[in-house]
Amino acid sequence: MNVTQASDRDRIEQEIARLERDIEASAPADQENGRLAIKQEALDSYRQRFHTFDRLQLRVDQLLHQAGRCEESLYSARIEMAAIRAGMSETQVDSVIEALQATIHQAKEVQDELKRLGYWA
């Protein structure tokens, strides 16, 4: 999430706009001496970075969505645990245990992914 800070994104957007203006305003001499090609390469690079921000933001949104799903599962498990106290059958208890194990497995997968991405120590 730190990588996709708005200030960095804004700075890249401004640089893209500046390079686009520079390219449009380029003199014919700029094309002859290679300056236009350099500006175009820089513009392509900034555009690629900008699209990388979009992909990273989508990935962060997906991870937050998964965290929300885990939260919902844990909430459901809590309600089911309360029902166990009220006297459920052994089959229903097994069902609760399976749901909790699935939730824990999902949480560990998200944690592993965060570790792999360097967000978790």
Note down pLDDT in tens along the chain; length 121 residues: 555 566 778 888 999 999 999 888 887 777 777 888 888 999 999 999 889 888 887 887 888 788 778 778 777 777 777 776 666 666 666 777 787 788 778 877 877 777 777 665 4
Contact 40, 23 (CB under 8 A): yes
- Residue found by looking up tokens 């824990």 in the block: 104
Both tokens of residue 97? 């245990």
Instruction: Tell me which amino acid residue 33 is.
Output: N
pLDDT at residue 2, rounded to an integer: 55
DSSP state of 120: -
> What is the token pair recorded at 117?
């991405």
User: Which DSSP letter does residue 34 get?
Assistant: T
Distance CA 105, CA 111 (A): 10
pLDDT digit string, tens, across residues 20-54: 998 888 877 777 778 888 889 999 999 998 898 88
